[in-house]
Chain A
Amino acid sequence: MSAWAQLGLAGMLALLATGCACGRYGTVAARRTLTQTAEVIEVYGFGALLRPGGVDGGFTLGWRHATYICPRISRDEAAASPRWTFGIVPELRVEPFFLAATSIGGEVVKYPTVLQAHVGIRTDAFTFAAHADETRVVSFRYVAGAPDQTILAMNPLPSLSRP
């Protein structure tokens, strides 16, 4: 094992041992589901959760469940049953079209349109529908607990870009 791999493993173990998550790593579990038209990533985290960037950058102390839904652009993977990962969150390949987040505890978070701080329980759901000058037709359906039934038919599809 290389020195960088050992350092990464030590960092990951330190995050897990202290109940922390930083970015995509730490005390998180993620479920990724690919449907015919959408990619659904559900992230469950607890402890001290720091998200340095992205569409929901901020800090959470407590429990958080976030669902990111992106249009499926690449066809290099077949639609498959949900796959769980622990300690690491799969990377978003395009800007999410839909974001839902529930947190219990304290949180400071910066969404693209809202900067917020709260103590208690909070649920947010955002649909980032289209840019100001964009012509787009969308049909979207999501049922919590059934991510494999998610439909996100979008015309035209966005180009590949990281959020």
Chain B
Amino acid sequence: MKPKPSIVLGVLCAGLLAGCATPSHLVFHQSTAIGADASANTDTGQVHVAFGYDRQTNTLIPKTETTNEHNEPEQEAMSVVSASEVRIKWLGLHEVTEQFATGKAARNLALDPKALGQILTLTVPTTQPPR
């Protein structure tokens, strides 16, 4: 028996939706594409199709289990403090500088603005842009 196209499509959509979960890692992602490009995020299930030139910068922040003020479990985005600088030359990556803290370290840093400023100002370019 030949399966109906609608059933095949339904199964495909279910497969994609099954992947709609919180990511397991904190991920910083940059991409540049020229040509025909199709991609699917395996954590969120989002599909992206592009022709020609496309450039993206994404950060995937996973959720963690916490409790609210009523001591009920809930999910919220993980704690992150980060500063990034990415330099692209033509199509290739030229330079990456990143400083970040996650989890308890991020929460502690957020309580100390001076320390936070010192961490984040470490992300400085090696050469100044022409004036």
**A positions within 8 Å CB-CB of B:** 98, 100, 102, 110, 112-144
**Measured between C-beta atoms, what is the minimum distance from B20 to chain A in Å?**
13
Determine the chain A residues whose CB is within 8 A of the CB of B89 once the complex forms. Answer: 144
- For window 65-111 of B, CB contacts with A under 8 Å fall at 78, 80, 82, 84, 86, 88-89, 91-106
User: If the complex has contacts A112-B25, A132-B25, A134-B102, are A142 and B38 also in contact, measured as CB distance less than 8 A?
Assistant: no
Q: Which residue of chain B has the shortest Cβ distance to A138 in the bound complex? A: B100
**Measured between C-beta atoms, what is the minimum distance from A106 to chain B in Å?**
9
Complex Cα spacing A127 to B83, Å: 13
Q: Is the CB of B25 within 8 A of A118?
A: no
Determine the chain A residues whose CB is within 8 A of the CB of B32 once the complex forms. Answer: 122-123
Q: Which residue of chain B has the shortest Cβ distance to A136 in the bound complex? A: B102
Q: List 22 A-B contacts (CB under 8 A).
A: A102-B91, A112-B25, A113-B25, A117-B39, A119-B37, A124-B29, A124-B31, A125-B29, A126-B28, A127-B96, A128-B26, A129-B25, A129-B82, A131-B24, A132-B23, A132-B62, A133-B64, A136-B103, A137-B101, A138-B99, A139-B98, A142-B95
Q: Is the CB of A136 within 8 A of B105?
A: yes
Q: Is the CB of A132 within 8 A of B37?
A: no
Q: Is the CB of B24 within 8 A of A144?
A: no
User: If the complex has contacts A113-B42, A129-B25, are A123 and B103 also in contact, measured as CB distance less than 8 A?
Assistant: no
The yes or no answer to B40 lying at the interface (CB within 8 A) is yes
Complex Cα spacing A50 to B102, Å: 35
Q: Is the CB of A143 within 8 A of B25?
A: no
**On chain B, which size bracket covers the interface?**
35 or more
Complex Cα spacing A97 to B16, Å: 27
Complex Cα spacing A129 to B89, Å: 23
**Measured between C-beta atoms, what is the minimum distance from B17 to chain A in Å?**
15
**Measured between C-beta atoms, what is the minimum distance from A31 to chain B in Å?**
16
Complex Cα spacing A122 to B64, Å: 32
Complex Cα spacing A10 to B95, Å: 40
Complex Cα spacing A120 to B36, Å: 7
Selected from B38, B40, B88, the residue in CB contact (under 8 A) with A118 is B38
Determine the chain B residues whose CB is within 8 A of the CB of A134 once the complex forms. Answer: 102-103
**List of 6 A-B pairs having minimum Cβ-Cβ separation, nearest first:** A120-B35, A135-B103, A116-B39, A132-B62, A118-B37, A127-B28
